[in-house]
Amino acid sequence: MYDVAVIGAGIIGTFIARELSRYDLNIVLIEKDTDIGNGTTKANSAIVHAGYDAEPGTLKAKLNFLGNPMFDRVCEELDVPFERIGSLAVATNEEEMKNIQRLYERGLKNGTPDIKILSREEVREKEEGISEEVIGALYAPTAGIVSPFELAVALAENAGDNGVEIKLESKVTNIQRVENGYCISMGEEILEAKYVINCAGVYAGEINEMVATKSFEIYPRRGQYNILDKSAGNIVSHVIFQAPTKLGKGVLVTPTVHGNLLVGPDAEDIDDRENTATTIERIEYIRRVSKKITSKIHFGTTITSFSGLRARPSTGDFIIEESKEAKGFINVGGIESPGLSAAPAIADYTIDILKEIGGGLKKKEGFIASRKPVLRFMELNDGEKAELIKKDGRYGRVICRCENITEGEIVDIINRNAGARTVDAVKRRARPGMGRCQGGFCGPRVMEILARELEKDIKEIVKDSSDSYILTGETKQNKLA
Amino acid sequence: MLYYDILIIGGGPAGLAAAIEAKKNGVDKILVIERDRELGGILQQCIHNGFGLHIFKEELTGPEYAERFIKELQEFKIEYKLDTMVLDIREDRVVSAINTVDGFMSIKAGAIILAMGCRERTRGAINIAGTRPAGVFTAGTAQRFINMEGYMVGKKVVVLGSGDIGLIMARRMTLEGAEVLAVAELMPFSGGLTRNIVQCLEDFDIPLLLSHTVTEIRGKDRVEGVVIAKVDENRKPIPGTEKYFECDTLLLSVGLIPENEISKSGGIILDPVTSGPIVNEGMETNIEGIFACGNVVHVHDLVDFVTEESRRAGKNAARYIKKEVKNYGSMAKTKAGTGISYIVPQMIRGENIDRTLDLFMRVDDVYTDINMVITIDGKEIKRMKKRHLAPGEMEAIKIKKEDLIASESSVITVSLEKEGA
């Protein structure tokens, strides 16, 4: 029997699993998909919010406040790109300036550090390319950008290094109370755990209802984005939001930690928890609305469009509590924005609940706080590059031509705890296929490496989900050969 | 640091022809760097025929065409490195490159010839809405899987874009037993060669839907179907014309883009229309001693033209090394007039031309019975009747040296004029 089963390996599940692995516990992390962080975690704004946005007094406000300053350390320990570039919420008229003022006051109540209202000129000092229409902004220096799926992968890997068992492609189909805990079915497979932590994202309601009556609902709210080529990455140097208006929050424009430009999202309530399609109308909408921030964006350099689902809770706030009906079953649901920013604090908060239920937890000896650094070949200087290839020739073979990713880097991210199993998983970790050609050149080579390292037939290599096959069989000539 | 007189980046048709020509023009220390596992570039996956009609006066397959140059390269004992990637170029012509055998290399070159070719535009670049399942391939990637790796990529196929690769792949997939439902083309005309439309679509009864586009991709894990709609004259989908095609594969043949990331690292200025370096009559870029040729400069329709252009680059790089370039006299500019989208080269030093110079260009629309008019500083020097012109087919016209050097710093304009205008 496991001590703790964490359901869902998104940013919340992986953070909790990693922080729990500091204790003397037998932990399993259960994920329905083929990869870590494959839901909301991989498709959001990738922002660590300063914390002025949430309603004072809510868990959102409190955990955003606590979570934001925790990013520097965890990202350094786990070698995940994070940059505190600061944010600007810009206004284009007096009414919007009033809203900026409101945000400022809310920020003061929430304890958001060093926020400041900037004049027209001060905004331009910070952002040369900002639209002529902008008349002022709220500046929050502690806002940052991070790579959420790389963080989730790193957390899972580190959790794995510290003894957490990770089960991918394991969809929870049923949970039953048993003596001293719960019996979790994942199709044919069954396991038991004393405590269950439900981090199932947009499916948190369904998982909860396996052990209790409905006490909350999670509504998926879709947001669509454009990601642009690195040539567009320096159009802005801060996270730039639009002042909220009656019509909504507007869209944001931000550089990413990898130097691309991200534009989006819109907000659209939908029924289907799997519907991450993009639509022409919505993409046109975010492109149009982004012009309020800057007109310098050339959408011809778009690399791709994508969408993600926010897990919007019926309660309006994060739901982090032990189920009233099921002892030892903790729900961590409704983690919409600022969920990523609050994630480190959500993990601590959840563990405190567990400590209370279980009567304290014992720290274990030998917790490893860091993971093996991820070598990024192109970030090395010439001498280091030469040395590395001498040591391992696979770093001398470039697989991805757009971003110069070497075979050595790809092999490395496959052969780690929580390593890549699919083409998209490789892409998310090491970036081949993220560039302009979108995997056109490197796709076949990545598949070949995956097949070799995982000892599979190349036809078994999938894009993302287990049914997302890429090849349909041999050609006539190959069959004869 | 290694030293070569001429370093050629790319071992496809452009790089091969340039290397051989440079050698024939008296340069010995030449290195060709190729990132793939073999020489020949994309030709190696183009197993259909139709290559070489201009250069060899016979129809060859892609690999056969490449083989002739590879053989010549080897007979000339020109050095090459495979599986080798150039990471960057500096303006002082020092190149860094890596491979598994030599490790990290710094190479100083007397002259550099850029011959990296082009890449395909992707789904993201044209913003097709819908889900993001497996089964969406660029036509070239599908071609590689099928012809090089020996794997099929689908059973029921829709092709978007009627560029040559899309047409070739519609036929190739059919021959491999797949069902190709349709080729949709956004424009009211095909971007491919007429012979390919006949031989790849018409001969196989594959419908070509002009003024149509894919508006949505459906399917969660693998493509389950696509929605195709008719577009209006502004290329916007017309509501109500949507039609659903059930398929497991979407192939994209929606344009090629010269691959100039390394060029940019070397400070080379690109032409916004071609997305390739601005070059002069000798295929030299704005940086002295750095030349470019083939699809890295502008996307060609026939490899034969790539070969011709690359020979010119190889020859001029050799002259540069031997200090034979005539860097005096008038400097003319070419200008794309009415109906022409671009002209290569963009700059011409008349003194440097042997007898004639080929100008390569593309028209911006389909034209019938029209005059192509060349003027120098407003003075007409040539007028040609053209029965049919299409953006898919590159045009080449010759101008004489006399015409060029007769005038001072002139502008050479090519434009289209209606019959009788």
pLDDT tens column, B372-384: 999 988 889 899 9
Residue A49 annotated as catalytic: yes
Is the pLDDT at B351 greater than 90? The verdict is no
C-alpha distances out from residue A25 to A359, A364, B295, Å:
14, 8, 60
Is the pLDDT at A115 greater than 70? The verdict is yes
Percent of chain B with pLDDT over 70: 99
Minimal Cα distance from B101: which residue of A? A393
**What is d(CA A175, CA A198) in angstroms, rounded to the nearest whole number?**
11
Q: Which is nearest to B155 in space by CA: A361, A473, A26, A225?
A: A473
User: How many angstroms separate the CA of residue B99 from the nearest CA in chain A?
Assistant: 4
What are the E-state strand segments in A201-259? 218-228, 239-242, 252-255
**CB-based contact (8 Å) between A108 and chain B?**
no
Average pLDDT over residues B392-403: 88
**Which of B37, B86, B94, B149 to mutate to test binding with chain A, by most A CBs within 10 Å of its CB?**
B149
**CB-based contact (8 Å) between B101 and chain A?**
yes
**Cβ neighbours of residue A390 closer than 8 Å, sequence gap 6 or more:** B103
Phi-psi region of A245 (alpha: psi -120 to 50; beta: other; left: phi over 0): beta
Q: Would the CB atoms of A459 and B221 count as touching at under 8 Å? A: no
Which one of A389, A462, A472 has the shortest CB-CB distance to B152?
A472
Query: Which pLDDT tens digit goes with each residue over A27-57?
Result: 999 999 999 999 999 999 999 999 999 999 9
Q: Would the CB atoms of A463 and B130 count as touching at under 8 Å? A: no
What is the sign of the dihedral through the CA atoms of A176, A178, A182 and A185? Answer: negative
The SS3 assignment for B49 reads strand
**CB-based contact (8 Å) between A462 and chain B?**
yes
Q: Using 50, 70 and 90 to split pLDDT, how confident is the model at A358?
A: confident
Amino acid identity at B146: I
**CB-based contact (8 Å) between B224 and chain A?**
no
Is the pLDDT at B257 greater than 60? The verdict is yes
Minimal Cα distance from B237: which residue of A? A280
**CB-based contact (8 Å) between A385 and chain B?**
yes
Q: Using 50, 70 and 90 to split pLDDT, how confident is the model at A225?
A: very high
Torsion angles phi and psi, residue A101, rounded to 5: -60, -40
Which H or E run includes A159? Answer: helix A148-161
| Residue A246 burial class via C-beta count within 10 angstroms: exposed 0-12, middle 13-18, buried 19 and up | exposed
Is the pLDDT at B137 greater than 70? The verdict is yes
Q: Would the CB atoms of A437 and B120 count as touching at under 8 Å? A: yes
**What is d(CA A447, CA B270) in angstroms, rounded to the nearest whole number?**
34
**CB-based contact (8 Å) between B145 and chain A?**
yes
Q: Using 50, 70 and 90 to split pLDDT, how confident is the model at A300?
A: confident
Q: Would the CB atoms of B85 and A401 count as touching at under 8 Å? A: yes
The SS3 assignment for A421 reads coil
Domain boundaries, chain B: 1-120+256-325, 122-254, 329-421
Query: Which pLDDT tens digit goes with each residue over A248-280?
Result: 778 999 999 999 999 999 999 999 999 999 999
Give me A26's structure tokens: 């037998």
**CB-based contact (8 Å) between A373 and chain B?**
no
Query: Which pLDDT tens digit goes with each residue over A175-214?
Result: 999 999 999 999 999 999 999 999 999 999 999 999 999 9
**CB-based contact (8 Å) between B253 and chain A?**
no
User: Around A321, how many Cα atoms within 13 Å sit in the side-chain half-sphere?
Assistant: 10
**CB-based contact (8 Å) between B1 and chain A?**
no
**What is d(CA A74, CA A369) in angstroms, rounded to the nearest whole number?**
9
Question: Are B1-120+256-325 and B122-254 in the same CATH fold?
Answer: yes
Report B:25-84 residues touching A (Cβ under 8 A).
35, 83
Query: Which pLDDT tens digit goes with each residue over B32-79?
Result: 999 999 999 999 999 999 999 999 999 999 999 999 999 999 999 999
Stretch among A290-294, B339-343, B416-420 having the lowest mean pLDDT: B416-420
Q: Using 50, 70 and 90 to split pLDDT, how confident is the model at B140?
A: very high
**CB-based contact (8 Å) between B13 and chain A?**
no
Contacts of B237 in chain A (CB under 8 A): 280
Stretch among A244-248, B83-87, B392-396 having the lowest mean pLDDT: A244-248
Q: Using 50, 70 and 90 to split pLDDT, how confident is the model at B420?
A: low
Percent of chain A with pLDDT over 70: 100
Is the pLDDT at B327 greater than 80? The verdict is no
User: How many angstroms separate the CA of residue A207 from the nearest CA in chain B?
Assistant: 22
**CB-based contact (8 Å) between A441 and chain B?**
yes
**Which of A388, A399, A475, A478 to mutate to test binding with chain B, by most B CBs within 10 Å of its CB?**
A475
Average pLDDT over residues A74-91: 97
Q: Which is nearest to B174 in space by CA: B195, B203, B148?
A: B203
Query: Which pLDDT tens digit goes with each residue over B174-197?
Result: 999 999 999 999 999 988 888 899
Is the pLDDT at B421 greater than 60? The verdict is no
Amino acid identity at A380: L
The SS3 assignment for B387 reads strand
**Which of B88, B90, B123, B127 to mutate to test binding with chain A, by most A CBs within 10 Å of its CB?**
B127
Report A:209-248 residues touching B (Cβ under 8 A).
227
Q: Would the CB atoms of B221 and A465 count as touching at under 8 Å? A: yes
**CB-based contact (8 Å) between A470 and chain B?**
yes
Contact B181, B159 (CB under 8 A): no
C-alpha distances out from residue B373 to B281, B394, B411, Å:
20, 16, 13
**Cβ neighbours of residue A126 closer than 8 Å, sequence gap 6 or more:** A86, A88, A118, A139, A237, A238
First to last CA, chain A: 51
C-alpha distances out from residue A62 to B246, B274, B371, Å:
50, 54, 74
Q: Which is nearest to B413 in space by CA: B373, B385, B384?
A: B373
Amino acid identity at A102: R
pLDDT (0 to 100) of residue A436 = 73
Which one of B101, B106, B138 has the shortest CB-CB distance to A440?
B138
Q: Using 50, 70 and 90 to split pLDDT, how confident is the model at B407?
A: low
Average pLDDT over residues A306-330: 97
**CB-based contact (8 Å) between A1 and chain B?**
no
**Do the strands A218-228 and A302-313 form a parallel or antiparallel pair, or are they unpaired?**
antiparallel
**CB-based contact (8 Å) between A394 and chain B?**
yes
In degrees, rounded to 5, the angle at the alpha carbon of residue B114 between the alpha carbons of residues A233 and A407 is 60
Report B:277-336 residues touching A (Cβ under 8 A).
none
**What is d(CA A68, CA A71) in angstroms, rounded to the nearest whole number?**
6
Q: Would the CB atoms of A389 and B103 count as touching at under 8 Å? A: yes
Q: Would the CB atoms of B150 and A279 count as touching at under 8 Å? A: no
Is the pLDDT at B330 greater than 80? The verdict is no
What are the E-state strand segments in B195-294? 208-210, 212-218, 225-230, 243-246, 249-252, 256-258, 290-292
Contacts of A305 in chain B (CB under 8 A): 124, 127, 129
Looking at every residue in chain A, the average pLDDT score rounds to: 95
**CB-based contact (8 Å) between B270 and chain A?**
no
**Which of B151, B186, B235, B256 to mutate to test binding with chain A, by most A CBs within 10 Å of its CB?**
B151
**Cβ neighbours of residue B129 closer than 8 Å, sequence gap 6 or more:** A277, A278, A279, A280, A283, A305, B215, B216, B217
Tell me the CATH architecture of domain B1-120+256-325: 3-Layer(bba) Sandwich (3.50)
**What is d(CA B336, CA B344) in angstroms, rounded to the nearest whole number?**
10
**What is d(CA A130, CA A139) in angstroms, rounded to the nearest whole number?**
14
Q: Would the CB atoms of B222 and A467 count as touching at under 8 Å? A: yes
**Which of A272, A275, A278, A446 to mutate to test binding with chain B, by most B CBs within 10 Å of its CB?**
A278
Which one of A299, A302, A474 has the shortest CB-CB distance to B151?
A474
User: How many angstroms separate the CA of residue B330 from the nearest CA in chain A?
Assistant: 36
Tell me the CATH architecture of domain B122-254: 3-Layer(bba) Sandwich (3.50)
Looking at every residue in chain B, the average pLDDT score rounds to: 94
**Cβ neighbours of residue A412 closer than 8 Å, sequence gap 6 or more:** A374, A375, A430
Average pLDDT over residues B89-95: 92
Q: Would the CB atoms of B83 and A279 count as touching at under 8 Å? A: no
Is the pLDDT at B408 greater than 70? The verdict is no
Q: Would the CB atoms of B132 and A393 count as touching at under 8 Å? A: no
| Residue A398 burial class via C-beta count within 10 angstroms: exposed 0-12, middle 13-18, buried 19 and up | buried
Q: Using 50, 70 and 90 to split pLDDT, how confident is the model at B265?
A: confident
**CB-based contact (8 Å) between B120 and chain A?**
yes
pLDDT (0 to 100) of residue B282 = 95
Count residue pairs from A and B with Cβ separation < 8 A.
149
Contacts of range B364-368, beta carbons closer than 8 Å, 24 or more positions apart: B364/B339, B364/B340, B364/B391, B365/B189, B365/B339, B365/B391, B366/B188, B366/B189, B366/B390, B366/B391, B367/B339, B367/B416
pLDDT (0 to 100) of residue A359 = 87
Contacts of A302 in chain B (CB under 8 A): 124-125, 127
Q: Which is nearest to A222 in space by CA: A176, A277, A181?
A: A277
Question: What is the signed CA dihedral for A303, A441, B21, B107, rounded to 10 degrees?
Answer: 80
Q: Would the CB atoms of B122 and A274 count as touching at under 8 Å? A: no
Which one of A283, A462, A477 has the shortest CB-CB distance to B127?
A283
Average pLDDT over residues B263-267: 90
Amino acid identity at B257: I
Tell me the CATH architecture of domain B329-421: Sandwich (2.60)
Average pLDDT over residues A162-176: 98
pLDDT (0 to 100) of residue B109 = 98
